[in-house]
Amino acid sequence: MKRDVFTGVSDDVREIRHFHLFCGLGGGAKGFNRATPRVGNLVGKFRCIGGIDINAPAIRDFERFASVKGTVLDLFDRDQYFDFHGTEPPSSWREATPADIQAAAGNERPHIVFLSAPCKGFSGLLSENRSRTAKYQALNRLTLRGVWLMMEAFDNDPPELIVFENVPRIANRGRPLLDQIGQLLRTYGYAVAETTHDCGELGGLAQSRKRFLLVARHIERVPPFLYEPDKKRLQNVGSVLGRMPLPGDATGGPLHRIPALQWKTWVRLAFVEAGSDWRSLNRFTVQDGHLRDYLIAPEYRGGYLGVHHWHDNCGTVQGQSLPSNGAFSIADPRFAAGGEYGQLGVRDWNESTGTVTGQRSPIQGSFSVADPRMPDSSKRQNGIYRVIAWNKQAGSVTGANHVAGAAMSIADPRGSGFAGKYTTTPYDAPAGTVISGSTTGTGAFSVADPRPGNIPKKGDHYLTGGHYGIVQWDKPCGAIAGAAGHDNGRWSVADPRLQLPAAEDRLVARIIAEDGTWHRPFTTLELAALQSLIDPEEYLELDGLSDSNWRERIGNAVPPDAATAIANVMGTTLLLAWSGETFILSAAPIWVQPVAIALALP
């Protein structure tokens, strides 16, 4: 007994025992254990008495989640075993019996039995043809056999409530089996209802998870109706993932790592629109196996020319902290490109200028203006630096007789000959007249020589220093000097490794998608959090070392939060029955009604 401190009335705590067939890692059992139904001063306390599954690692996980011993047991009959495995069972194998079910329940009687039978044969992920093969038909028949074994095990003292959960497609692909299961349960005195529900809405999850639910109520033992759980609003994915460390963070453990995908899968993910699927890839044009309108190029390594965000930490400050060899630049929000410090800034004619400072040259601030009053150059008399065409008239000859003072220059077409100052002669053309003042500034005494590779380097200190030189990948490097820098010798290398992966190469990549986000798969830990197996801040370890096995067990699990919602309404129904009530006023839909209303009465 537990006394309520406000009313002084003692709570009458009633134990509600639950048992799980095909229990998996125990998500349903964990959710049932957390349920706390109440009717008046009657309070339900759920306790798991066991679970059965063929997968030994899943049972070890079950024992941690459900806090009770689990049982590894194959529920196939011999024919199903042969059809599924394609071979006879080993000599040590035997068919499970009702006594094995009783032993797995600790020889206790459950009030509620929860079954989540294998669903691969009914899943829409499996083609219709494959679902009809002997292997998957054997797996499908296991659903009926599991119910029969359970009913036979507790024949003398049947459970009050039975819940059978599966994929929605079982209602179509497994219709003959469902009809047999319903008939079997009715034979044992149960009222049966088939419904579908969204685990996300029942548990308030950040995922939509449609499931089939068959609920059976023992009419004699449980007269009250069984009502559906209340529905909750779905969360968004970010409300869960935002509370978790970034993928790869050591605090998340081995389950919080990004899986290595094929390179082509990463590229496809990057081009899938958020909220869509592979069909959004149809909008792209592919020519010769390549995207026509996009180019994917690798980034430089080591933060080459990297720019830090204003709010981020800087990396290690090195001796050679240059923009070209690391992330040694910063995005400074205080620099107003068009403001007071906008170097070479030009103000619009219609806007105000910045503060007038002592530094007033164009390269020190926004001290230029786009003046619309500037007349056309052809109408100006003082054409500063203006060059007059050969066939045009000159402007007025003024006292400012230099090129910076007026239009005192001319485009002389005769400059290709003797007077061609700074002219460069093509290699295959004759030179101009050789005169006594034969310097580069007084005539055409330069040549475009195509033979620079034959220029002697001996004695040329600048050339022999190899400034900005690049060493070939298959060549040795020169002696390492104490002042080795990229601009004073051959200290760069043509690295052929900087290339995109092959299509089938498996790796962890970060490709920023068109919407500016990283399109990536969920980590295993994130899937567990979305399934409500853990809180986002929790640490989780599962049995084994295989991500694929972990993800399969997590995907097969019943979300605990949804299971808690189901257990609460079932517990309420049991408390009503145990208290002698046969009716409760509720606006919620009724899950399981008797064949006739009269059967709901004592």
**Distance between CA atoms of residues 159 and 150, nearest Å:** 10
What integer pLDDT is reported at residue 404 of this predicted model? Answer: 54
What residues form DSSP beta bridges with 47? 17
Going by C-alpha positions, the residue among 560, 549, 529 that lies closest to residue 55 is: 549
| pLDDT tens-place string over residues 134-182 | 998 999 999 999 999 999 999 999 999 999 999 998 988 889 999 999 9
**Distance between CA atoms of residues 413 and 424, nearest Å:** 15
**Distance between CA atoms of residues 324 and 215, nearest Å:** 67
- Would you say residue 248 has pLDDT above 50? yes
| pLDDT tens-place string over residues 548-584 | 899 999 999 999 999 999 999 999 999 989 987 655 5
Which two structure tokens, joined as six digits, stand for 160? 């009050």
Q: Give the mean pLDDT of the chain.
A: 80
What integer pLDDT is reported at residue 422 of this predicted model? Answer: 62
What integer pLDDT is reported at residue 131 of this predicted model? Answer: 83
Share above pLDDT 70 across residues of the chain, in percent, rounded to a whole number: 74
What integer pLDDT is reported at residue 372 of this predicted model? Answer: 73
Secondary structure of 154-202 as H, E, C letters: CCCCCCCEEEEEECCCHHHHCHHHHHHHHHHHHHCCEEEEEEEEEHHHH
Decide: 320 and 485 in contact? Cβ < 8 Å.
yes
Which two structure tokens, joined as six digits, stand for 431? 């030179």
Sign of CA pseudo-dihedral 178, 180, 181, 183: positive
Label residue 21 by pLDDT band (50, 70, 90): very high
**Distance between CA atoms of residues 480 and 482, nearest Å:** 7
What residues form DSSP beta bridges with 410? 388
* Strand segments (E) across 341-475: 346-347, 368-369, 387-388, 409-410, 424-426, 446-448, 470-471
- Would you say residue 417 has pLDDT above 50? no
Label residue 243 by pLDDT band (50, 70, 90): very high
What integer pLDDT is reported at residue 510 of this predicted model? Answer: 82
- Would you say residue 12 has pLDDT above 80? yes
**Distance between CA atoms of residues 423 and 177, nearest Å:** 95
What class is the 11-236+562-600 domain? alpha beta
Which of helix, strand or coil describes residue 509?
coil
Radius of gyration in angstroms for the set of CA atoms belonging to the chain, rounded to a whole number: 40
Label residue 601 by pLDDT band (50, 70, 90): very low
Q: Which residue has the tokens 């290690």?
A: 316
- Would you say residue 444 has pLDDT above 70? no
| pLDDT tens-place string over residues 69-81 | 999 999 999 999 9
What integer pLDDT is reported at residue 176 of this predicted model? Answer: 92
What integer pLDDT is reported at residue 602 of this predicted model? Answer: 34
Decide: 349 and 370 in contact? Cβ < 8 Å.
yes
Per-residue DSSP letter, 426:
E
Decide: 244 and 256 in contact? Cβ < 8 Å.
yes
Going by C-alpha positions, the residue among 524, 504, 555, 529 that lies closest to residue 259 is: 524
| pLDDT tens-place string over residues 362-393 | 655 666 777 676 555 455 445 566 777 777 87
What integer pLDDT is reported at residue 403 of this predicted model? Answer: 56
Cα–Cα distances in Å, from 389 out to 144, 378, 382, 411, 481?
99, 11, 16, 5, 56
Cα–Cα distances in Å, from 302 out to 167, 201, 305, 326, 327?
48, 46, 9, 6, 8
Going by C-alpha positions, the residue among 566, 598, 582, 574 that lies closest to residue 224 is: 582
Which of helix, strand or coil describes residue 485?
coil
Which of helix, strand or coil describes residue 502?
coil
**Distance between CA atoms of residues 483 and 319, nearest Å:** 12
b/e sequence 393-408, b meaning 16+ C-beta within 10 Å: eebeeeeeeeeeebbb
What integer pLDDT is reported at residue 255 of this predicted model? Answer: 94
Q: Residues with Cβ < 8 Å from 478, sequence gap 6 or more?
A: 466, 471, 489, 490
Q: CA torsion angle for 256, 25, 563, 523 (degrees, to 10)? A: 20
| Least confident stretch, 90-94, 113-117, 283-287 | 283-287
Of 233-247, 273-287, 307-321, 473-487, where does the model show the most confidence?
A: 233-247
What integer pLDDT is reported at residue 318 of this predicted model? Answer: 66
**Distance between CA atoms of residues 463 and 101, nearest Å:** 88
What integer pLDDT is reported at residue 482 of this predicted model? Answer: 75
| CB-count exposure of residue 204 (10 Å: 0-12, 13-18, 19+) | middle
In this prediction, residues 510-523 reach a mean pLDDT of 85
How many CA atoms within 13 Å lie on the side-chain side of 490? 16
Decide: 152 and 159 in contact? Cβ < 8 Å.
no
Prediction pTM value? 0.66
Label residue 188 by pLDDT band (50, 70, 90): very high
Phi then psi for residue 202, to 5 deg, are: -70, -40
Share above pLDDT 90 across residues of the chain, in percent, rounded to a whole number: 39
| pLDDT tens-place string over residues 333-348 | 764 444 444 556 676 7
Going by C-alpha positions, the residue among 227, 230, 228, 229 that lies closest to residue 583 is: 227
Q: CA torsion angle for 284, 285, 289, 295 (degrees, to 10)? A: -70
| Least confident stretch, 25-34, 342-351, 400-409, 518-527 | 400-409
- Would you say residue 218 has pLDDT above 80? yes
Label residue 597 by pLDDT band (50, 70, 90): very low
**Distance between CA atoms of residues 308 and 364, nearest Å:** 25
How many CA atoms within 13 Å lie on the side-chain side of 6? 1
Q: Residues with Cβ < 8 Å from 134, sequence gap 6 or more?
A: 83, 84
| pLDDT tens-place string over residues 23-62 | 999 999 999 999 999 988 899 999 999 999 999 999 999 9
Q: Residues with Cβ < 8 Å from 231, sequence gap 6 or more?
A: 198, 201, 202
Instruction: Give the angle subtended at the CA of 140 by the CAs of 135 and 142, to the nearest 5°.
Output: 100
Which of helix, strand or coil describes residue 545?
coil
| Least confident stretch, 371-385, 399-413, 420-434 | 371-385
- Would you say residue 127 has pLDDT above 70? yes
Label residue 96 by pLDDT band (50, 70, 90): very high
**Distance between CA atoms of residues 252 and 257, nearest Å:** 8
Decide: 14 and 8 in contact? Cβ < 8 Å.
no
